Chain A
Amino acid sequence: MDPFTRRQFGRLSLAAAIAGAGQVAGVFPALAQGANPIRIGFAMALSGGLAGNGRATLLAYQIWAQEVNAKGGILGRPVQLVFYDDQTQPGLVPGIYTKLLDVDRVDIVTSPYATAMIAPAMPVVMQRNVTFLTIFGAGVNEAFKYDRHFNMNVVGDDMKETYAAGYFEVAAMLPTPPRSIAIAAADNEFAQKAGESARYHARKRGIRVVYDRSYPPSTVDFTPIIRAMQSARPDLVFIASYPPDSAGMVRAANELRFTPAIFGGGMVGTQLASFQSQFGPLLNNLVTWDVYSPEPTMNFPGVAAFQAKYRELAPREQTDLLGNYIPPYAYGQMQALEQTLTRVGKIDQAAMAADMHAQEFDTIVGKFRFSALGEWAEARNLYVQFQGITDNDLERYKRPGAKVILAPSAYKSGALRTPYGAAG
């Protein structure tokens, strides 16, 4: 694939934006009809609490659309993204999806980011029997059981069984088998499910839970939580948190010099450039859940080229500078859509769903299949460890060695260092 310059991309983006805006406003309907594009519609959090990841996802989609159009489109038709800002307000989502399907008459719909925004779109999509590609949902289809739902997330069907399994694989690498664990989880759907998985695996392995608490999302001072954990003297600490809480936990653990053998868990936020740049060496030996790391074991074809483009555009789009979290998966989601459309040869919702259930997809985040519920048939929850971080420079996160993969074994790229808090 030919690389393109920022100026070229800027021109193409401008043209796409004008065409997109014209389509939405009805200014250039004739132009759009003449090109007969495949219209992909979605809501995305471009403002509000989830905007950070929402904007990164949108940028990945735009890069994909630009590349596909440069190659001549899909089935000989260009692709066009029709999207609206859901403002991270679930109440706006049903209206947006109704407009996309009934007024804009898009050909295909993909989801907003993430669970709380995906769920309100599901009834609208189900009513019209449309194939629905979602991104980073957590068990949304357990309630709806919609057979045309396909979720791009490494978690898999059974989060309780799969999510924390890798963490305990890492714990088994300790020279002395761990005997106790402390668990703290935020009061939200994702964190509670993650905490449940940790509890389940601890029980399964005979590890005593010496601290197990939830905390409200509005918590700002994490010192009491860390101090309480510290007094319980656990070998392992599993924290399931969202970005602001993850930051508070890491800061409190360092201030109180808390040094369990393994500290980490399902800490969302540690995957983002802003977090890594802010905390630098404080992250050394932290073991956390992740979805991607630029290690040799994950060097899938195309991912490096995508990230190079993404990183060139990210500063201007004011989104995550590294693109090591959602962007490769958002791009991979669109690749899966492209592969399905190419195989089916037309836009047929039933045939597309049947194809997605039956076939394997080969994307920049690797090969995968979808299960009956539309989750990844084989979960791939990574547990990585920050190693050798000496400063706040983000360049190191573009190379192998900074986020070493410890589990699952198929992707392992280094050895566990312990305890947390020791110099990396």
Chain B
Amino acid sequence: MSAAGERSVEAVGLDAPRAAVPKLLAPSPHHALFWLCAVLLGAALVVGLRLIGNEYGYFAGYFILQYIVLSSAWNILGGYAGYVNFGAAGFMAAGAYTAIALRKAFGLDLLPGIVAAGFVAGLLGLGTGYLTLRLRGVFFSIATLCLAVVLQTLIVNWDYVGGSRGAYIVRPREVPPFVSYGEYMFVVMLVLAILAVGISRTVELSRLGRGLQAIRDNERAAEAVGVPTLRLKLIATTLCGALMGVAGAPLPYYSGYLNPEAAFSLAYAVNAIAMPLIGGAGSWLGPVIGAVLLGGLQQAATVTISSALNLWIVGWMLVIFVALFPRGIIGWFRRRA
């Protein structure tokens, strides 16, 4: 929030925001400490999994990390700004198909694919934000859902990237210096997850984050006190889209084959919303907790309960969390504190 905006809040005598301002400004962000801890934690994970020496750990880890990226991205728009995005699968697929298209056209590998996916999905987010500026609440959500449907129709009819038949990516068996392709994919997604969480945290603790929170609480009041709502929403939709695209870029390399049904799977859209809600939307740590908890539970249920019962259990977990912890786990701890 701008200084002018803060003065305006005081001028109109809005007690709650006035009380909140010093609290928001008070704590030091400790950015350097965060990045250091994140890198150390990441390194510990890589070393730990290599010591265990089991390839499955990389795949299970990849599954959870991709949801950390996705739910952190969703949280920037949905958690901070209060704009619920149902089109996560669409942005993710945009990233995945950008990587496929670049590989087919120029033979580019995963890493340039990720950069391009972030750029393309970011542009898509910017365009979506611009086109849906006047929409709020459920209307915005429906618009994002429609975007996923439009994108899926486009991909189904785009034969160059496989169309309805899907596209194969024959990946190399080894990627030195990594011990296996699984470890390589894990490390790539780990780096992306650290970046996504770091960006999410930086946004939350910056003026941008406070502006988005003002939009979430009352967009008209925020506009009235000088918050540049248009600019902030465009930045949020662009960041959200770019990070979701980045999460999708490794998907064809991970599975070796991607068809529109898999890329636009409803599971991505549902999990991208459910994980921040369970962990605590509006906080950078909430999506991480939600993704580890729900993603870990889904992965564990898949490889232990070999029947449709796993969906039933995961469904009930969602219902219980939403009923008992409506503000997520972070919110529950904060209330107790």
A joins B in a complex: yes
* Complex contact B156–A216 (CB within 8 A): yes
* Complex contact B306–A85 (CB within 8 A): yes
- Nearest to A116 among chain B residues (CB) is B259
* CB-contacts of B125-178 with A (<8 A): 153, 156-157, 163-166, 168, 170-171, 173
- Nearest to A92 among chain B residues (CB) is B302
Asked if B265 CB lies within 8 Å of chain A CBs, one says yes
* CB-contacts of B261-307 with A (<8 A): 261-262, 265, 267, 299, 302-307
Residues on B with beta carbons closer than 8 Å to the beta carbon of A47: 307-308, 310-311
A-B contact pairs, 30 of them (CB 8 A): A24-B304, A46-B306, A46-B308, A83-B306, A84-B302, A85-B308, A87-B308, A89-B267, A90-B255, A91-B251, A91-B255, A92-B63, A92-B302, A94-B59, A95-B63, A95-B303, A98-B55, A98-B56, A98-B58, A98-B59, A99-B56, A119-B256, A123-B256, A126-B173, A188-B261, A189-B164, A189-B259, A192-B165, A193-B165, A216-B156
Asked if A287 CB lies within 8 Å of chain B CBs, one says no
* Complex contact B164–A192 (CB within 8 A): yes
Residues on B with beta carbons closer than 8 Å to the beta carbon of A25: 304
Residue-by-residue, is B209-231 near A (CB-CB < 8 Å gives 1, otherwise 0)?
00000000000000000000000
Residue-by-residue, is B29-52 near A (CB-CB < 8 Å gives 1, otherwise 0)?
000000000000000000000000
* Complex contact A91–B262 (CB within 8 A): yes
Closest CB pairs A-B (n = 8)? A119-B257, A47-B308, A143-B168, A187-B164, A120-B255, A189-B165, A95-B59, A123-B256
Asked if B60 CB lies within 8 Å of chain A CBs, one says yes
- Nearest to B62 among chain A residues (CB) is A95
Residue among B56, B157, B304, B307 making CB contact with A102, cutoff 8 Å: B56
Asked if A127 CB lies within 8 Å of chain B CBs, one says yes
Supply 16 further A-B pairs (C-beta < 8 A) apart from A85-B306, A99-B60, A217-B164: A24-B303, A87-B302, A90-B259, A90-B262, A92-B302, A99-B303, A116-B259, A116-B262, A119-B168, A119-B256, A143-B257, A144-B170, A187-B164, A188-B259, A188-B261, A189-B165
Q: Tell me the minimal C-beta distance from B71 to chain A in angstroms.
A: 15
Residues on A with beta carbons closer than 8 Å to the beta carbon of B251: 91
User: Bound complex: CA of A6 vs CA of B180, how far in Å?
Assistant: 47
* Complex contact A116–B261 (CB within 8 A): yes
* Complex contact A116–B166 (CB within 8 A): yes
Q: Tell me the minimal C-beta distance from B254 to chain A in angstroms.
A: 6
User: Bound complex: CA of A103 vs CA of B54, how far in Å?
Assistant: 7
Residues on A with beta carbons closer than 8 Å to the beta carbon of B181: 123, 127
User: Bound complex: CA of A193 vs CA of B299, how far in Å?
Assistant: 34
User: Bound complex: CA of A189 vs CA of B170, how far in Å?
Assistant: 18
User: Bound complex: CA of A216 vs CA of B155, how far in Å?
Assistant: 11
Number of A-B contacts (CB under 8 A): 127
Residues on B with beta carbons closer than 8 Å to the beta carbon of A46: 306-308
Assuming A47-B311, A85-B308, A127-B180, is B55 touching A216 (CB within 8 A)?
no
Residues on B with beta carbons closer than 8 Å to the beta carbon of A94: 59, 254-256
User: Bound complex: CA of A192 vs CA of B265, how far in Å?
Assistant: 21
* Complex contact A95–B302 (CB within 8 A): yes
Asked if A93 CB lies within 8 Å of chain B CBs, one says yes
User: Bound complex: CA of A96 vs CA of B170, how far in Å?
Assistant: 19
Asked if B182 CB lies within 8 Å of chain A CBs, one says yes
* Complex contact A119–B255 (CB within 8 A): yes
User: Bound complex: CA of A402 vs CA of B157, how far in Å?
Assistant: 38
* CB-contacts of A67-101 with B (<8 A): 83-87, 89-96, 98-99, 101
Residue-by-residue, is A13-36 near B (CB-CB < 8 Å gives 1, otherwise 0)?
000000000001100000000000
Assuming A46-B308, A116-B261, A187-B164, is B256 touching A95 (CB within 8 A)?
no
How many residues in B have their beta carbons less than 8 Å from beta carbons of A? 43
User: Bound complex: CA of A275 vs CA of B304, how far in Å?
Assistant: 33
Residue among A96, A101, A102, A188 making CB contact with B165, cutoff 8 Å: A188
Residue among A89, A95, A98 making CB contact with B265, cutoff 8 Å: A89
* Complex contact A85–B259 (CB within 8 A): no
Q: Tell me the minimal C-beta distance from B230 to chain A in angstroms.
A: 35
A-binding residues in B (CB < 8 A): 54-56, 58-60, 62-63, 153, 156-157, 163-166, 168, 170-171, 173, 180-182, 251, 254-259, 261-262, 265, 267, 299, 302-308, 310-311
Main secondary structure of the interface of B (DSSP, over half): helix
Residues on A with beta carbons closer than 8 Å to the beta carbon of B182: 98
* Complex contact A216–B171 (CB within 8 A): no
Q: Tell me the minimal C-beta distance from A42 to chain B in angstroms.
A: 10
Residues on B with beta carbons closer than 8 Å to the beta carbon of A98: 55-56, 58-59, 182
* Complex contact A91–B267 (CB within 8 A): yes
* Complex contact A103–B56 (CB within 8 A): yes
- Nearest to B156 among chain A residues (CB) is A187
Residues on B with beta carbons closer than 8 Å to the beta carbon of A126: 173
* Complex contact B255–A84 (CB within 8 A): no
* Complex contact B265–A91 (CB within 8 A): yes
* CB-contacts of A267-294 with B (<8 A): none
Asked if A51 CB lies within 8 Å of chain B CBs, one says yes
* Complex contact A51–B308 (CB within 8 A): yes
Asked if A322 CB lies within 8 Å of chain B CBs, one says no
- Nearest to B66 among chain A residues (CB) is A91
Q: Tell me the minimal C-beta distance from A106 to chain B in angstroms.
A: 12
Among B153, B168, B302, B311, chain A packs the most CB atoms within 10 A around the CB of: B302
* Complex contact A85–B304 (CB within 8 A): no
Q: Tell me the minimal C-beta distance from A212 to chain B in angstroms.
A: 15
Residues on A with beta carbons closer than 8 Å to the beta carbon of B60: 95, 99
* Complex contact A123–B171 (CB within 8 A): yes
Asked if A382 CB lies within 8 Å of chain B CBs, one says no
Residues on A with beta carbons closer than 8 Å to the beta carbon of B168: 119, 143-144
Asked if A326 CB lies within 8 Å of chain B CBs, one says no
Residues on B with beta carbons closer than 8 Å to the beta carbon of A214: 164
Residues on A with beta carbons closer than 8 Å to the beta carbon of B153: 216
Residues on A with beta carbons closer than 8 Å to the beta carbon of B166: 116, 119, 189
User: Bound complex: CA of A87 vs CA of B302, how far in Å?
Assistant: 8
- Nearest to B173 among chain A residues (CB) is A127
Q: Tell me the minimal C-beta distance from A238 to chain B in angstroms.
A: 18
Asked if A122 CB lies within 8 Å of chain B CBs, one says yes
- Nearest to A186 among chain B residues (CB) is B164
User: Bound complex: CA of A301 vs CA of B173, how far in Å?
Assistant: 43
User: Bound complex: CA of A120 vs CA of B230, how far in Å?
Assistant: 42
Residues on A with beta carbons closer than 8 Å to the beta carbon of B258: 90
User: Bound complex: CA of A189 vs CA of B303, how far in Å?
Assistant: 28
* Complex contact B257–A120 (CB within 8 A): yes
Residues on B with beta carbons closer than 8 Å to the beta carbon of A188: 164-165, 259, 261
Q: Tell me the minimal C-beta distance from B263 to chain A in angstroms.
A: 9
Residues on A with beta carbons closer than 8 Å to the beta carbon of B261: 116, 188, 217
* Complex contact B311–A87 (CB within 8 A): yes
Q: Tell me the minimal C-beta distance from A98 to chain B in angstroms.
A: 5
User: Bound complex: CA of A144 vs CA of B257, how far in Å?
Assistant: 10
Residues on B with beta carbons closer than 8 Å to the beta carbon of A143: 168, 170, 257
User: Bound complex: CA of A187 vs CA of B59, how far in Å?
Assistant: 31
